[in-house]
Amino acid sequence: MPKSPPKKTKPKTEKVQSSIQPGKTQETAHSITWFAAVAALFIIFSVVNTSHLSKLFENDRHFSHLADFEREMTYRTEMGLYYSYYKTLITSPSFFDGITKITRDNVTEYGHTINTLKRFNLYPEVVLSYFYRNFKAITDKMGWRVQTCWQVNRGGDLPPVESCEGVGNPHYFYVGGAFVVAGTVAGWLFLLGVVLSDSILGGLLSVAAFAFNHGESTRVQWTPPLRESFSYPLILAQITLVTIALRNHVSGSRWLVGISIPIVLSMLSWQFAQFVYSTQLAALSVTFALDYLPRSTFSTLIFTHIFSLLVSFVLLFGNEMLLTSFYFPSILAALSILLIDRCLNKMTFRPLFVFLLLSIYGAVTVGAKMGLAMVFNVEDDAHIGEILRSKFTDFASFHTRLYTCSAEFGFIQQETLEKLTNTGLLPTALTSFLLIAIFLLRSRELLWRDTSTRLRPLSHLPFHFAQTAAFVFLAFIIMRLKLFMTPHLCASVALIMSANLISSSLNVRLAWIVRVGLSGLVLAGMAYQGMGNIKHQLSISGEYSNVEQELLFEWINDKSPKDAVFAGTMPVMANVKLSTERPIVNHPHYEDKGIRERTLKVYSMFSKKPITEVYDGLKKMGVNYVVIQPFNCDHHPRKECSYRSMWDLHDPQNEKRTSLCDIWQTAYKLSPKEANKKVAPFKFAYNHASYIVFKID
């Protein structure tokens, strides 16, 4: 006979587990000693990670022996763009003059005046420049020596350069600031592991897993100026606070404000942060639909995101993408199911209840996203949808191939999964998720709901499961996003130390000494390959040198007017702006419809369009010089990823014409007179092994 729904009974008073429940041999959760130990370990792990990042960065580039202009060249692509605004802020007559320059910028996209603080999330540069200016003012006044300078002989025919090391150097201050913030990732992973497992040992396992898989968890040691360096630690802090809130079923304004702070700071630092919080709202909605999240807590978390969105919208000068991305629609969707739940909560058939709530969530998210994009007529994030579409269909465009032809935007590589398996991270994390799955299946009736309460023990586990699943999915389709997946897998390792999870899922209560032994075995298994990974990281050694680019920038500074406008490939343009301070028309920050259209016009230098058409298009943009690199015209290992193939896709009507790449490569080998005749109406202005500069009269 089919099982009937349970009769409604008077709600019983349920004992909700506290945030931390150690056994008799553990310290009391509320003891000052226990919290002091957790705080001390948080600081220690953060400091050690910061030092490790700095050491790897120095080993890779020999940064301490570079001149400042060489250090600028090490910030490739977007990194150079971000550092250029920090440079503007610290070299302006006053801090507020610098703020005016970056909020009314006509150098980054010549012909347009843009608010770069709004467009590029430059608050990290604003904060660091403010502290640097004040730090220098104080140390100069006190006569303190905060940097040491010496002359470095570079060998060969290169002239010696002055190299300055110390916190008083603007590069060291900036990079050091990035590493201090990024270093806290280890601390937050430790704390998240403690919260998930009810155990300091669980936190230690999470940190160990992070150390052993460091190369697959972050790239900040190679790319400190990128937005994720500043934003991801704040995202991890926010996830930790949300996990604590779910464990304790808390609600109220204090939690709203506390959780809002890292949300706002992370969104001010990185445009992609709002997309991450979209996945969090989806994970919270799944947890709510499964009856593990009380209405009061869910309501507090939704209004936390609403409050954070409003504050961020104001501080980012009304950035429309905050409203038209998936973040705001996800908030509306979560709010919708919270309101509709009052009508549906009497429904006792669980599969139908879950299906209806999540269907409403999905429909509102997609509908609101499309509606808001139409209302505001904003297509700045349209490329994200196109990239996802290209992953699962045969759709392709010039813009999507610029992304997907890069390995970091491809599907996750088998090598990555093998590395995570060899350190034991994947097997251990999968074991943790298996325990969660068993717990979910055993903890309640699969077909029928108890509508009297949503107060459930271990309610943070479904959220952690759903959030990690979202990060795993993102990493599998875009390898670059493994920076979210791998740390969360490291945090999941801590769950094998959770006495509550093990007893709830397996009906086995392990003694503390048994769990200590288990953690030792897991640690030993991870360390077998993990220690080798750490040694390999520390063995990476290099010394930065880019003489060809140095000669190019010397030529630009010496031979071109200060107001000459440059165009070229995106990575080079960021460094041209930083090192020569010349106006540019395009740059690597591609998350804007206008800049994508500008870049397409510049990249027509590699098309099959008539040469006069390309020339006229660039001249209309106000371009005086175009910089290309001969290797841009080379064939790509993947045929569809060469510029020739991209242009055949985008511009099929000119497919039969001669590629401009062939013209540049032929002219490159001719005498100056013959070369200029070949590329007319362009003129060769600079012709070197790695760079060619064409002049537009």
pLDDT of residue 382: 75
Task: List the 692-695 sheet strands across, edge first.
Answer: 566-568, 625-628, 692-695, 683-687
Is the confidence at residue 19, as pLDDT, over 70? Answer: no
With tokens 């996209």, the residue in question is 109
Query: pLDDT tens digits for 469-480?
Result: 999 999 999 999
H-helix segments, 62-199: 68-74, 78-91, 95-103, 116-120, 123-142, 170-197
Looking at per-residue confidence, does 27 or 355 come out higher? 355
Burial class (CB in 10 A: 0-12, 13-18, 19+), 624: buried
673: helix, strand or coil: helix
695: helix, strand or coil: strand
Q: How far apart are CA 417 and CA 431, in angstroms?
A: 16
Domain boundaries of the chain, sorted by first residue: 32-42+176-539, 62-168, 547-695
Q: What are the structure tokens assigned to 489, written together?
A: 């897998």
Query: pLDDT tens digits for 336-381?
Result: 999 999 888 888 898 999 999 999 999 999 999 999 988 888 777 7
Is the confidence at residue 279, as pLDDT, over 70? Answer: yes
Q: How many CA atoms lie within 13 A of 668 on its CB side?
A: 19
Contact between residue 279 and residue 467 where contact means Cβ atoms under 8 Å apart = yes
Band (pLDDT 50/70/90 cuts) for residue 23 is very low
Contact between residue 81 and residue 578 where contact means Cβ atoms under 8 Å apart = yes
Average pLDDT over residues 78-101: 97
With tokens 């770069």, the residue in question is 116
Average pLDDT in the chain: 91
- Sequence-distant (6+) residues with CB within 8 A of 30 are none
pLDDT of residue 227: 96
Contact between residue 566 and residue 585 where contact means Cβ atoms under 8 Å apart = yes
Is the confidence at residue 556, as pLDDT, over 50? Answer: yes
Is the confidence at residue 221, as pLDDT, over 60? Answer: yes
Average pLDDT over residues 4-8: 45
pLDDT of residue 30: 55
Q: Is the pTM of the predicted complex or chain greater than 0.75?
A: yes
Q: Within 10 A of 267 (CB to CB), how many other CB atoms are there?
A: 29
Looking at per-residue confidence, does 669 or 98 come out higher? 98
Contact between residue 625 and residue 567 where contact means Cβ atoms under 8 Å apart = yes
Containing 625, the helix (H) or strand (E) segment is strand 625-628
What percentage of residues in the chain have a pLDDT greater than 90? 75
- Four-point Cα dihedral 467, 470, 472, 476, nearest 10: -170
Contact between residue 390 and residue 396 where contact means Cβ atoms under 8 Å apart = yes
Is the confidence at residue 22, as pLDDT, over 50? Answer: no
- Range with lowest mean pLDDT among 118-127, 399-408, 426-435: 399-408
Q: How far apart are CA 84 and CA 108, in angstroms?
A: 10
Query: pLDDT tens digits for 489-533?
Result: 999 999 999 989 998 888 888 877 888 888 899 999 999 999 999
Q: How far apart are CA 367 and CA 532, in angstroms?
A: 49
pLDDT of residue 515: 82
From residue 303, alpha-carbon distances to 250, 395, 470, 504, 578 in Å are 14, 38, 22, 32, 41
Average pLDDT over residues 90-103: 97
Band (pLDDT 50/70/90 cuts) for residue 7 is very low
Q: For the residues of 380-414, what is the DSSP string, one character each?
A: TTHHHHHHHHHHHSS---HHHHHHHTSGGGSPPPH
151: helix, strand or coil: strand
The fold for domain 547-695 equals Rossmann fold (3.40.50)
Average pLDDT over residues 546-564: 95
- Range with lowest mean pLDDT among 295-299, 377-381, 551-555: 377-381
Query: pLDDT tens digits for 411-460?
Result: 999 999 999 999 999 999 999 999 999 999 887 777 887 777 777 788 89
Containing 149, the helix (H) or strand (E) segment is strand 148-152
Query: pLDDT tens digits for 535-550?
Result: 999 999 999 999 999 9
Best-predicted range by mean pLDDT among 383-387, 549-553, 661-665? 549-553
Q: Which residue type sits at 356?
A: L
Average pLDDT over residues 620-648: 91
Q: How far apart are CA 695 and CA 559, in angstroms?
A: 12
- Range with lowest mean pLDDT among 52-56, 171-175, 340-344, 381-385: 381-385
- Range with lowest mean pLDDT among 370-374, 569-573, 617-621, 683-687: 370-374
Q: What are the structure tokens assigned to 658, written together?
A: 């001669």
For residue 266, give the nearest of 305, 303, 227, 300 by alpha carbon.
Answer: 227
